[in-house]
């Protein structure tokens, strides 16, 4: 019942403002859902088109400040119904949104996506979304908070019920009441585990907890590494070459490469 009610509350943010998936509605935060939403995705496409136009203007193409300002003013003005109709007509998601953006930016229509390939917005937006998702996730994963031992047993010598709650997956391990200082409590609690319904070697709850903590810390390190190793794809021309940009800049390879 609790899970169903929680899911219902999370699904209040829907439509183009949130990523839609059973896993997202159950477990993801509203902020994370928004990062993977249609609105965030296509707004990022428009931001990339704006950055491209600004760079092309800086490099000497005849793009006016008025055109740039028109694009800036309409980054969030996304007509999803029109985009869906255009995609049905054109059979191309990127060109559908080029036309939809051009509709609200008539003066800038001719410079939107100028010289670029579809992967310029598609792949780079995916990379931006992944980076921003990591930036939402990583600050919440503090190593010192990986394990939270109940405050009621901190510093207590004597009878205690230890409840080690892991932040990932709400994994719980409970020991019997034992008489020992907290620092040595877990290492002295023995437990027999079962592997494929066969009793395994006797071990301690403390050792198992250390292994779980180690796995969580290694996962955190891997997440940080993946986030730091993400690289922007760059700006490619049509069909993935630079030929279209060489044509736009009249063969000036210093401006293209």
The larger pLDDT score, comparing residue 187 to residue 90, is at 90
Mean pLDDT of the chain, nearest integer: 78
Per-residue DSSP letters for 119-131?
HHHHHHHHHHHHH
Phi and psi (nearest 5°) for 158?
A: 135, -160
Percent residues over pLDDT 70 in the chain = 73
Q: Would you state the pLDDT for residue 227? A: 95
The larger pLDDT score, comparing residue 158 to residue 235, is at 235
- pLDDT by residue (tens digit) across 203-238? 777 777 778 888 888 988 999 999 999 999 888 887
- Give this prediction's pTM: 0.72
Give SS3 for 199. strand
- pLDDT by residue (tens digit) across 45-59? 999 999 999 999 999
The larger pLDDT score, comparing residue 199 to residue 116, is at 116
- pLDDT by residue (tens digit) across 159-184? 223 333 333 333 333 333 333 344 35
The larger pLDDT score, comparing residue 77 to residue 187, is at 77
pLDDT at residue 137 tops 60: yes
Tokens of 227: 């986030």
Q: Would you state the pLDDT for residue 146? A: 42
Note the CATH architecture for domain 22-116+235-255: Orthogonal Bundle (1.10)
pLDDT at residue 102 tops 70: yes
Longest dimension (CA), the chain: 83
pLDDT at residue 87 tops 80: yes
Helical H segments across the chain, by residue range: 2-10, 22-27, 30-35, 38-58, 65-73, 80-90, 93-104, 118-137, 182-188, 205-229, 243-248, 253-256
Q: Would you state the pLDDT for residue 209? A: 76
Q: Would you state the pLDDT for residue 188? A: 58
The larger pLDDT score, comparing residue 80 to residue 190, is at 80
């Amino acid at each position: 019942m609790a899970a169903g009610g929680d899911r219902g509350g999370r699904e209040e943010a829907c439509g183009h403002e949130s990523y839609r998936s059973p896993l997202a509605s159950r477990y993801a935060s509203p902020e994370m859902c928004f990062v993977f939403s249609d609105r965030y995705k296509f707004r990022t496409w428009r931001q990339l088109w704006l950055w491209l136009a600004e760079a092309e203007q800086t490099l000497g193409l005849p793009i006016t400040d008025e055109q740039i300002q028109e694009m800036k003013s309409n980054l969030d003005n996304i007509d999803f119904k029109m985009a869906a109709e255009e995609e049905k007509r054109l059979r191309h998601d990127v060109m559908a949104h080029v036309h939809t953006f051009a509709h609200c930016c008539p003066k800038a229509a001719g410079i939107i996506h100028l010289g670029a390939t579809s992967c310029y917005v598609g792949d780079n937006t995916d990379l931006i979304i992944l980076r921003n998702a990591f930036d939402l996730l990583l600050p919440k994963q503090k190593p010192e908070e990986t394990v939270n031992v109940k405050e009621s047993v901190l510093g207590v010598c004597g009878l205690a019920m230890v409840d080690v709650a892991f932040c990932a997956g709400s994994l719980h391990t409970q020991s019997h009441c034992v008489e020992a200082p907290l620092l040595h409590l877990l290492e002295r609690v023995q437990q027999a585990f079962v592997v494929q319904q066969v009793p395994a070697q006797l071990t301690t709850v403390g050792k198992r907890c250390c292994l779980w903590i180690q796995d969580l810390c290694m996962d955190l390190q891997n997440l940080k590494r993946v986030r730091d190793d993400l690289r922007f794809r760059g700006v490619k021309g049509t069909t993935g070459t630079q030929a279209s940009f060489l044509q736009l800049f009249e063969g000036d390879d210093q401006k293209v490469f």
